Amino acid sequence: MFRINTFKLLMCCIAFVLSACRTTKKKSSVTVSEIKPNILFILCDDLGYADVGFNGSPDIKTPNLDALANKGTIFKSAYVTHPFCGPSRASIMTGRYPHTIGSQFNLPPNSEIIGEGIDVNETFISSTLQNAGYYTGALGKWHLGAVEKYHPNNRGFDDFYGFLGGGHNYFPEQFMKAYEIRKKAGNKHIFEYLLPLEHNGEEVVETEYVTDALSREAVRFVNDAAKTKKPFFLYLSYNAPHTPLEAKKEDLKLFESIKDEKRRTYAAMVYAVDRGVKKVVEALKETKQLENTLIIFLSDNGGRLDQGANNYPLKEGKGSTYEGGYRVPMFFYWPKHIAAGKYYSHPVSSLDFYPTLSYLANATISKDKILDGKNIWKNIQENSNARVGEPIFAMRHQKGFTDAAIRIGEWKALKIHRQHWKLFNIENDISETIDLSLKHPEILTKLVKQSKDWSTTHTKPLWFHSEKTGKDWESLNMPDFDTLFQIEK
């Protein structure tokens, strides 16, 4: 009897251990794509490369952003697709180079007049995540179309609070007064920077400094999202520190040591973003959502040097195909999933957000959806290069000529302001000071050819940022790629 009971006891123990092993195995096999993290995507407007503490700012305080960055992974070679905000933002939403979908130029001010926007056949990342069960929100600057069919609520966002144009004034007491004066005067089209903000298509009476208002609405969204029991995607699109340079008095006092007035105001505007982010993070903590929230922070393009920005050690700034135009500060923060206190130095593109976030959300991308980026999640985890031998392009059309750049690995070829093609070792010479085109002509030739091949995928712009630009495009035979891709001997 004793022997039988012992045998039964032994078999029970074995069964228990096997069951525990199966349970442990099942738990450990859960992939990150099955977790469906919340995604907080914070985008600044015209923020300089060196205008946040985590990227070396000597004079602008960003303690809350720095805390997130230092507990996450900082990207040192993060690129957007264009040195202007409209095309850059179009790429984030579509996963496409703007040149391939006709959005090479900013939409003109008050774009509702021309009725254009990003092609509705391009499925936005917001729609893909919404279809995957996400509660989606967009706050702040849109700049992707101001008529109904291009409205955020029709492009995959459940909730929108902000403005549809490319920028806005910051103090409601100022812009609402100016708006009412023009409205009473019978102006049919009032400058978009003065228009009332809206919530899901309805005008609202805003009373707070706009940066604070957007942070407030972000807190509201986070609280609402917690009640839905769904994962969320929040596109928090600040217009700061884009012009006009307008800051609160209490923020300006923190930067009295900065003598240059523009720089001082600009610094205070960046700080307003930082303290807003603190409130959003506190809301995530209070609703117990922070641990499963991926926070992404970056700028839509380089900072404007003539408006207080600092892109050191990069050359030039907004609008340029030198590094200062489209290489931006960026970090990822996600407890237990993103390495803390790490730098990722390999080149990445804003094109990579669409496939990477879709993977993390376990979202289905339609088979006919063209994407120009790639899923870089595994590479981030391994700190490996996601695009060995693969290019990152930049191109800006000017009056009568085109500026272009291409980077592959350590090499970057660039042609700007009708000058000859130059070649830089961008890893050794981040400031682009030493032209190596004569020393390595074969590398230059290879890069220029790849840029030329890429140009064959471009389409004609669907709009121009001004009527004159459109006329110049036709009369000057733009984009004049035959001239662009000639290498001077």
Q: Count how many domains the chain has.
A: 2
Q: What is the pLDDT of residues 397-442, one digit of tens each?
A: 999 999 999 999 999 999 999 999 999 999 999 999 999 999 999 9
Q: What is the pLDDT of residues 145-200, one digit of tens each?
A: 999 999 999 999 999 999 999 999 999 999 999 999 999 999 999 999 999 999 99
- pLDDT the model gives residue 319: 98
Q: Taking residues 119-125, what's their average pLDDT?
A: 98
Do residues 176 and 293 both lie within one domain? Answer: yes
* Predicted confidence (pLDDT) at residue 444 exceeds the cutoff of 70: yes
**Domain assignment present for 8:** no
CA pair distance 235, 211, nearest whole angstrom? 14
**Domain assignment present for 7:** no
Q: How far is CA 325 from CA 117, 163, 306, 466, in A?
A: 24, 25, 13, 21
Q: Radius of gyration (Cα) for the chain, nearest Å?
A: 25
**Residue at a domain's end among 328, 349, 382:** 382
Q: Is 143 among the catalytic positions?
A: yes
Do residues 140 and 288 both lie within one domain? Answer: yes
Instruction: State the pLDDT confidence band at 488, using cuts at 50, 70 and 90.
Output: confident
Instruction: State the pLDDT confidence band at 31, using cuts at 50, 70 and 90.
Output: low
Do residues 368 and 327 both lie within one domain? Answer: yes
Q: What is the pLDDT of residues 40-49, one digit of tens each?
A: 999 999 999 9
- pLDDT the model gives residue 175: 98
**Domain assignment present for 26:** no
Hey, is 378 helix, strand or coil? helix
Question: Both tokens of residue 323?
Answer: 């590094």
**Residue at a domain's end among 349, 382, 415:** 382
* Predicted confidence (pLDDT) at residue 27 exceeds the cutoff of 80: no
Do residues 155 and 190 both lie within one domain? Answer: yes
- pLDDT the model gives residue 279: 98
Kindly state the percentage of the chain with pLDDT values over 90: 92
Do residues 470 and 338 both lie within one domain? Answer: no
Do residues 410 and 378 both lie within one domain? Answer: no
Closest of 416, 412, 396 to residue 319, by C-alpha? 396
- pLDDT the model gives residue 33: 54
203 contacts 210 by C-beta, under 8 angstroms: no
Largest CA distance in the chain: 103
Instruction: State the pLDDT confidence band at 35, using cuts at 50, 70 and 90.
Output: confident
**Domain assignment present for 25:** no
Do residues 134 and 85 both lie within one domain? Answer: yes
Q: Beta strands 402-408 and 411-415: pairing type?
A: antiparallel
* Predicted confidence (pLDDT) at residue 25 exceeds the cutoff of 90: no
Q: Taking residues 221-228, what's their average pLDDT?
A: 98
Q: Is 85 among the catalytic positions?
A: yes
Q: What is the pLDDT of residues 356-393, one digit of tens each?
A: 999 999 999 999 999 999 999 999 999 999 999 999 99
Q: Mention every residue, 6+ apart, whose C-beta is less than 8 A from residue 172.
A: 205, 206, 207, 208, 209, 210
Do residues 352 and 212 both lie within one domain? Answer: yes
In CATH, what number is assigned to the domain containing residue 59? 3.40.720.10
Do residues 325 and 473 both lie within one domain? Answer: no
Do residues 124 and 238 both lie within one domain? Answer: yes
**Domain assignment present for 128:** yes
In CATH, what number is assigned to the domain containing residue 413? 3.30.1120.10
Q: Which residue has the tokens 């001004």?
A: 466
* Predicted confidence (pLDDT) at residue 318 exceeds the cutoff of 80: yes
* Predicted confidence (pLDDT) at residue 53 exceeds the cutoff of 80: yes
- pLDDT the model gives residue 32: 61
**Domain assignment present for 418:** yes
Q: Taking residues 250-274, what's their average pLDDT?
A: 98
* Predicted confidence (pLDDT) at residue 12 exceeds the cutoff of 70: no
**Residue at a domain's end among 357, 382, 407:** 382
Instruction: State the pLDDT confidence band at 19, using cuts at 50, 70 and 90.
Output: very low
Do residues 432 and 314 both lie within one domain? Answer: no
**Domain assignment present for 10:** no
Min mean pLDDT across 30-34, 173-177, 225-229, 396-400 is at 30-34
Q: Taking residues 43-64, what's their average pLDDT?
A: 97
Q: Spot the catalytic one: 143, 151, 168, 397.
A: 143
- Beta strand extents in 200-312 (DSSP E only): 202-203, 232-237, 293-299
**Domain assignment present for 38:** yes
Do residues 62 and 190 both lie within one domain? Answer: yes
Domain ranges, residue 478: 392-484
237 contacts 126 by C-beta, under 8 angstroms: no
